Homo-oligomer: A and B are copies of this chain.
């Protein structure tokens, strides 16, 4: 696994501090999803979701690509699978 640059440490921890964002990450562990698909799992507005996704992108925890009018989000697995898998398994006791 690659070691990441220190400057993004804060954005990673900050991104993980919100329960909705952690839930987004958990959803994405099952595979990539459009913004709309993700939104369907939450009560808050799409604008709010977009904001959460932006923070996750900044932290490089997720990636995005365009497919027509949709944007498809996926985990940045290189960082996520190793780190977050570990975190959820041992801290939350509820990974996949």
**Is A94 in contact with chain B by the CB < 8 A criterion?**
yes
Judged by a CB distance under 8 angstroms, whether A14 is at the interface is: yes
Copies in the complex: 2
Q: Is the CB of A14 within 8 A of B12?
A: no
Count of A residues near B, CB < 8 Å?
Answer: 25
Q: How far does the alpha carbon of A93 sit from the alpha carbon of B4 in the complex, in Å? A: 7
Nearest 5 pairs between A and B by C-beta? A17-B17, A3-B93, A9-B92, A13-B17, A13-B16
- In addition to A5-B93, A16-B17, 13 A-B residue pairs with Cβ atoms within 8 Å of each other are A3-B89, A3-B90, A4-B90, A4-B93, A6-B92, A9-B22, A10-B19, A13-B13, A13-B22, A14-B17, A17-B17, A83-B86, A83-B90
